[in-house]
Structure 1
Amino acid sequence: MPLDDWELWACAQQVIKQHGAKAPLHVAARIAELATEGDADGVQAWQAIAARVDQLMDYRTGRPLSRQ
């Protein structure tokens, strides 16, 4: 069953909280693991999480975007 949009955002925020500037690397590794295992649904979910991590990260500083 696919994750709801809010769940994908929550996952992205949790990944950033746990991995900080290395969040994109963690997500990429997870996608690779799932692809190797043949888990197409998992790959799709983590690709959606990756897109949200991208939107939440400030790549100039390697930190999450701050709310101002």
Structure 2
Amino acid sequence: MAVDKPDCAPTHILTDWELWACAQEMVRQHGFDAPIIAAMRADELMKKVDLDGAANWRLIVQRINQLIPPGEASKH
């Protein structure tokens, strides 16, 4: 029987490789909306007091922004 993890349970910070993999997958799935969607996820986790999870998503947003050149998103 699986036990649900409480919202405030500590997670861990992902490795750099994992963060880049997540960023690339977000761009693949969501295109130019990826940074917005990832930032919304970070906000959701912060509201649930999942500080590590929110930190992971903020780091993913940083990497997404490196994958999508500045100004490219506004063209689409």
> What TM-score range do you get, normalising by the shorter chain?
0.7 to 0.9
Cα distance in 2 between the residues matched to 1:6 and 1:38:
25
CA contact (8 A) 2:27 2:34 kept: yes
Bigger CA radius of gyration: 2
Cα distance in 2 between the residues matched to 1:58 and 1:49:
15
CA RMSD of aligned residues (A): 1.5
Quote the residue 1:26 is aligned against: 37
State the identity %: 44
Quote the residue 2:69 is aligned against: 58
Residue 14 of structure 2 is aligned to residue 3 of structure 1: yes
Structure with bigger helix share is 1
- Give TM-score scaled by structure 1 length: 0.83
Structure with bigger strand share is 1
Gaps of 5+ in 1: 63-68
Quote the residue 1:37 is aligned against: 48
Report how many aligned residue pairs link the two structures: 63
Cα distance in 1 between the residues matched to 2:15 and 2:48:
23
Q: Runs in 1 of length 4+ with deviation above 3 angstroms?
A: none
Gaps of 5+ in 2: 1-11
